[in-house]
Amino acid sequence: MRKRYYLTTPIYYTNGAPHIGHAYTSIAADVLARFKRLDGYDVFFLTGTDEHGQKVEKTASEAGVEPQTFVDGIAAEFVDMTRRMGCSNDDFIRTTEGRHKAACTALWQRLEAAGELYLGVYEGWYAVRDEAFYGEGELVLGADGVRRAPTGAPVELVREPSWFFRLAAWQDRLLAFYEANPDFIAPAGTRNEIVSFVRGGLTDLSVSRTSFSWGIAVPGEPGHVMYVWLDALTNYITAAGFPDETAPRWAFWPADLHLVGKDIARFHTVYWPAFLMAAGLPLPRRVFANGWWTVQGEKMSKSLGNVVDPRDLVDAFGLDPIRFFLLREVPFGNDGDFSRRALIGRMNTELANDLGNLAQRSLSLIARNCGGKLPGRGEATDDDAGLLAAAEAIPGSVRLQLDRQAFHEALEEVWRVVRAANAYIDRQAPWALRRTDPVRMAAVLRVLADTLRVIATVLQPFMAGSMARMLDQLGVPEEARDLTALASPLAEGISLPPPVGVFPRFVENAA
Ligand code: ME8
């Protein structure tokens, strides 16, 4: 049976258009999904939209539109963003769908039957922007003398009837779970924060609201809608078929990986496992919290007018350079800063100069000097063997790095070999061998073609379109582009199509 892998992005709030932060988490997840498929896994990759709650209701009402109409419009934008970022998601869940309401209702009933819920009154602080409850002690005093959430979000005092989830009772079992599963929360900084938050003590969590109605109705409790985070987190099991545990997709649960932004780590590593344990369901294997992007040093905000729409970037620079840049520029888990300059820098050095030139030089020498046919392997010199061994090690080291979501390290493993191959071609100077030793020239070009084949195969998850073109030019058949296919050498003498540059230099238009 094939190994299974289930991974998710957060589901994005439908209160505004997608921006580069959303694209970032989605692209990261897509790279992992594609790599796992290449590595022989049966993958289920889920993304979607989080459409209920006070924030969305408020935004819709400010726009003077019915919430459902409003979210239909924004969800369509997220579907479009997902497609244009090249995501290969297997499903796109919307929390306003019937299947999701059914799953939330079933989960609620399980929690209630287990005695995990009780009716009370919530009195305390709520930040609509974060859709989060805050304790008095968590609030911070702004320079303006106004109390805010630790995230800077405005808070309001709420008093309303509410159902509660017995979160406090799960504190020790959560701590024991973290202890027994040291890889559950990553990176380490987030793990430490969460562990100390839980050690600090948990209070029962309000899981229904009565002051607005845009949510999933609490079964048997008119006037209550489910707290948007209980609703939202449930999406991960809805899409796996819950509550039908005989659904084929249920075999994917528990998820192998939830990718989330660092802002929402707490919901995924405290509330979510507690809900699941309380409902008697298996827990996800890992939650990785990625960092935040700023734009030229500033937080993205509508009021600053610096929100970067990833679709505009793709139109201007192409999809693959954007995907590459976002994952190459910043260690996953750290915050990053987006600037056109940094993007163009990476495009021109690492893509155009390092990889693009390597491919173009090697392939055009084959086209010119080997009649456009792939040369056979010669007797390997130490230099040849060294480069080939480095290339053959790439899939294993990339697998290792991607299993810890270290995208930039995975790319560095590849670029180490790209640079080694450039040094090799300069040392071997196949252009000079043409006259002196054509047999050796052919052997050198074959070493380069084999090295490029590994590089292009492994980079497919990052840059599918460009790497497909590179593999076409290397004569790699479409059915021989996964990791296992690398074990079978390409046949000598196959005709290669004329080489065309894959990564042109980007020249900023002066006009
Ligand atoms: O929190 N930099 O949705 P959301 C990097 N609906 N990543 C960013 C980012 C930035 N500047 N801004 C957003 C929610 N993100 C909930 C999630 S999940 C059950 C419910 C990414 O629309 C990051 O992954 O506010 C963040 O966690 C995600 O978008 C959530 O966006």
Give residue-wise pLDDT tens across range 77-114: 999 999 999 999 999 999 999 999 999 999 999 999 99
Query: Ligand 1, atom 13: nearest CA belongs to which residue?
Result: 21
Q: What percent of the chain has pLDDT over 70?
A: 99
Does the beta carbon of 28 lie inside 6 Å of ligand 1?
A: no
Q: Can you give the residue range of the structural domain that contains 363?
A: 341-487
Q: What is the CA(86)–ligand 1 centre distance, in A?
A: 19
232 CA: nearest ligand 1 atom: 19
74 lines ligand 1 (CB under 6 A): no
Strands 117-127 and 257-261, how do they pair?
unpaired
Nearest CA to ligand 1 atom 8: 21
Encoded tokens for 210: 């009565």
Residue 390 maps to a domain: yes
> How many structural domains compose the chain?
1
| Ligand 1 atom, smallest distance to 299 CA | 11
Ligand 1 pocket, mutate which of 8, 13, 27 (most atoms under 8 A from CB): 13
Mean pLDDT in residue range 159-184: 98
DSSP 478: G
Q: Mean pLDDT across the chain, nearest whole number?
A: 96
pLDDT at 511 over 70: no
Ligand 1 midpoint to CA 403 (Å): 22
Model pLDDT, residue 1:
73
Q: Is the CB of 311 under 6 A from ligand 1?
A: no
Nearest CA to ligand 1 atom 10: 21
Pocket test for ligand 1, best of 263, 287, 288 (most atoms within 8 A of CB): 263
Distance CA 400, CA 142 (A): 44
pLDDT at 297: 82
Q: pLDDT per residue over 405-436, tens digit each? A: 999 999 999 999 999 999 999 999 999 999 99
From the CA of 10, how far away is ligand 1's center (Å)? 6
Mean pLDDT of 213-217: 97
The full DSSP string for 48-80 is EEE--SHHHHHHHHHTTS-HHHHHHHHHHHHHH
Is position 413 within any domain?
yes
Ligand 1 within 6 A of 12 CB? Answer: yes
Q: Is residue 395 part of a domain?
A: yes
Query: How far, in Å, is the centroid of ligand 1 from the Cα of 15?
Result: 12
CA 441 to ligand 1 center in whole angstroms: 52
For residue 241 and ligand 1, the question of a CB distance below 6 A is answered with: no
Q: Is the pLDDT of residue 129 over 90?
A: yes
Whether 94 lines ligand 1, by a CB cut-off of 6 Å, is: no
**Residue 310 counted as domain residue:** no
262 CA distance to ligand 1 middle (Å): 8
| Beta carbon of 228 within 6 Å of any ligand 1 atom | no
To 10 degrees, the CA torsion angle through 206, 208, 77, 60?
Answer: -110
Closest CA to 228 of 160, 158, 149, 129: 129
Q: Is the CB of 13 under 6 A from ligand 1?
A: yes
Q: Give the bridge partners for 5, in sequence order.
A: 43
By the 10 Å C-beta count (0-12 exposed, 13-18 middle, 19+ buried), 394 is classed as: buried
Q: Residue 356: which H helix or E strand, with range?
A: none
The whole-number pLDDT of residue 445 equals 98
At residue 89, the 3 state secondary structure works out as: coil
CA 256 to ligand 1 centroid distance, Å: 19
Q: Which atom of ligand 1 is nearest to the CA of 291?
A: 5
Q: Which of 27, 214, 260, 288 to mutate to test the pocket of ligand 1 (most atoms within 8 A of CB)?
A: 260
What pLDDT was estimated at residue 208? 98
Question: Which pLDDT score, from 0 to 100, does residue 358 have?
Answer: 98
Instruction: Indicate whether 486 pLDDT > 80.
Output: yes
CB-CB contact of 46 with 6 (8 Å) = yes
Measured distance CA(278)–CA(476) in Å, rounded: 51
Q: Is residue 350 part of a domain?
A: yes
Can you tell me the distance from the alpha carbon of 213 to that of 103, in angstroms, rounded to the nearest whole number? 19
Residue-level pLDDT at 142: 82
Ligand 1 lined by 50 (C-beta under 6 Å): yes
pTM attached to this predicted model: 0.97
pLDDT tens per residue, range 431-478: 999 999 999 999 999 999 999 999 999 999 999 999 999 999 999 999
| C-alpha neighbours within 13 Å on the C-beta side of residue 432 | 5
Determine, yes or no, domain membership for 440. yes
Q: How far is the CA of 129 from the centre of ligand 1 (A)?
A: 12
Strands 287-290 and 185-186: parallel
pLDDT in tens, 353-405: 999 999 999 999 999 999 999 999 999 999 999 999 999 999 999 999 999 99
* CATH number, domain with residue 479: 1.10.730.10
User: Does 45 score more than 80 pLDDT?
Assistant: yes
**Distance in Å, CA 260 to ligand 1 centroid:** 7
Q: Is the CB of 230 under 6 A from ligand 1?
A: no
CA dist 232 and 267 (Å) reads 10
- Say how many Å lie between the CA of residue 266 and the centre of ligand 1: 13
Measured in Å, residue 360 CA sits from the centre of ligand 1 at: 39
Q: Is 300 in the pocket of ligand 1 (CB under 6 A)?
A: yes
Q: Would you say residue 295 has pLDDT above 90?
A: no
Q: Which amino acid is at 497?
A: P
Find out whether the beta carbon of 475 lies less than 6 Å from any atom of ligand 1.
no
Q: Is residue 329 part of a domain?
A: no
Which residue's CA is the closest to the ligand 1 atom numbered 9? 21
Ligand 1: centre distance to CA 189 (Å) = 18
Q: Is the pLDDT of residue 210 over 80?
A: yes
User: pLDDT higher for 304 or 389?
Assistant: 389
- Helices and strands, number each (H, E), in the chain: 20, 16
Residue 251 structure tokens: 């075999």
Q: Tell me the pLDDT band of 304, cut-offs 50, 70 and 90.
A: confident
Is position 442 within any domain? yes
